[in-house]
Amino acid sequence: MAGRKTADGKIADRRTSEHFNRGSVRKADILAWLKERGDYVSGQEICEHFGVSRTAVWKAIGQLRAQGCRIDAVPNRGYLLLDTLEAYGADGLKSLIHTKWAGQRLCYFDTLGSTNIQAKVEAENGAFHGTLVVADMQTAGRGRRGRGWVSPAKTNLYFTIMLRPDFAPEKASMLTLVMAHATARAIRAQTGLDCGIKWPNDIVVNGKKICGILTEMSVERGYIHYVVIGVGVNVREQEFPSEIADKAACLDAECGAKVSRSALLADIMSAFEEDYESFLAVGNLSRLKESYDRMLVNRDRQVCVLDPKGEFRGTARGITDTGELLVEKEDGESVQVYAGEVSVRGIYGYI
């Protein structure tokens, strides 16, 4: 479905937010209210609060339970939300995402080929800036350079946010670093893990990768139609393919407790919205650079730069305001390494 242009030139969706959320926002609101109350709430009180029938409440509770919400029901007392750790569905996510625009339009799928591909479809159909596509399982997940990404169900976090930026295409590569910074911040906040960033966008814990990010865009004659940023985070304990078993890790195993996928996604959206607006304010990464450098696991370490023009070694010193990695070569020369053109590896291992 084609979109229309708003007064500020942005493409808006012809379908209203109410249309997108019809039949599901009520459940998300009920879930958020039960969480806020923290005690038994009678069905009648829910009816009066939301202006719906007892039948509507009963159906909403049933659907929330089907999505994984543990809701106790006791005669003459009402409903009590016991646990939302695995309430990983549209309504559970909507109840937790409290942003201005990032993820406010949510497209959730139990199974999907690729969240990046679906986000492109949404973009072509005129979806709003900030549209979030989430899947419990991907059947055709992709990493950098066309590599496959293992995407089992009920295990990890797979999502893509679609953006309609109003800046030159050459700045889009910085958005990958913006997302890496936001994701690392959110993981630290949720788990307490001292996770870092392997330039430009791998999130690592204890020297192993827990998250990958893939950014793609549609551009024409110097104008960006849209950008999609896909993220995959290893959460539950799992067996990794042999080729990456020594390089991959998951959050549950690293922090010794179950991590809420829903809460983590909500935190990433909040952090990304904040970091994206900081990026927009100045048009580069200068406001995020200091924080990014503190989390940069390559910093002040020897690295090998795999450049098609010639491999060389040096010491990583941090990033520039536009996201290039500064590498000090063995002869003292400082070189700016551009993401997408080369690979950087640690001399003694993955990082």
- pLDDT (tens, 9 = 90+) of the chain, 351 residues, equals 334 334 333 434 333 333 333 333 467 788 888 888 878 889 899 888 888 888 888 888 888 877 667 788 888 888 888 765 556 788 889 888 999 999 999 999 999 999 999 999 999 999 999 999 999 999 986 655 455 555 788 899 999 999 999 999 999 999 999 999 999 999 999 888 999 999 999 999 999 999 999 999 999 988 999 999 999 999 999 888 888 888 899 999 998 888 889 989 999 999 999 999 999 999 999 999 999 999 999 899 988 888 878 888 899 999 999 999 999 998 889 999 987 656 777 655 666
Could you tell me which of 254, 276, 101 has the C-alpha nearest to residue 178? 276
Task: Provide the b/e sequence for 60-96 (b: ≥16 CB within 10 Å).
Answer: bbebbeebbbebeeeeeebbbbeebbbbbbbbbbbbb
CB of 79 closer than 8 Å to CB of 46: yes
Q: pTM (2 decimals)?
A: 0.77
Q: What pLDDT is recorded for position 96?
A: 86
CATH 1.10.10.10 is right for the domain spanning 19-83: yes
How far apart CA 332 and CA 318 sit, in angstroms, is: 15
How far apart CA 62 and CA 263 sit, in angstroms, is: 22
The structure tokens 């690295």 sit at 303
How far apart CA 175 and CA 156 sit, in angstroms, is: 22
**Interstrand relation of 196-198 and 208-220 (parallel, antiparallel or unpaired):** unpaired
- Dihedral angle, C-alpha 299, 229, 208, 89, nearest 10 °: 140
Sequential DSSP letters for 266-284: HHHHHHHHHHHHHHHHHTS
Q: Where in the chain is the domain with CATH 3.30.930.10?
A: 96-295
Q: Where in the chain is the domain with CATH 1.10.10.10?
A: 19-83
Could you tell me which of 189, 196, 182, 186 has the C-alpha nearest to residue 295? 196
CATH 3.30.460.10 is right for the domain spanning 96-295: no
CB of 303 closer than 8 Å to CB of 327: yes
User: For the chain, first and last CA: distance in Å?
Assistant: 45
- Can you say whether residue 244 is alpha, beta or left, with left for phi > 0 and alpha for psi between -120 and 50 degrees? alpha
For 302-346, CATH number out of 3.40.190.10, 3.30.1330.10, 2.60.120.10, 2.30.30.100 equals 2.30.30.100
List of residues 6+ apart from 183 with CB closer than 8 A:
203, 211, 213, 231, 233, 268, 271, 272
Query: Which tokens hold the place of 323?
Result: 């996201």
List of residues 6+ apart from 347 with CB closer than 8 A:
301, 302, 303, 304, 313
Q: What pLDDT is recorded for position 150?
A: 59
Q: Alpha helix (H) ranges present in the chain?
A: 17-21, 25-37, 43-50, 54-66, 90-94, 115-124, 174-191, 251-255, 261-282, 289-295
CB of 92 closer than 8 Å to CB of 69: yes
Task: Provide the b/e sequence for 15-45 (b: ≥16 CB within 10 Å).
Answer: beeeebbeebbbbbbbbbbbeebeebbebee
Q: What pLDDT is recorded for position 183?
A: 98
CA distances to 30, 167, 222, 272, 317 from 226, rounded to whole Å, are: 34, 11, 12, 17, 32
How far apart CA 324 and CA 336 sit, in angstroms, is: 6
Could you tell me which of 75, 76, 74, 79 has the C-alpha nearest to residue 60? 79
Q: Which residue type, as a one-letter code, is found at position 97? A: I
Q: How crowded is the C-beta side of 100, counted as CA atoms within 13 Å?
A: 6
Q: How crowded is the C-beta side of 272, counted as CA atoms within 13 Å?
A: 31
Query: Which tokens hold the place of 139?
Result: 């059947």
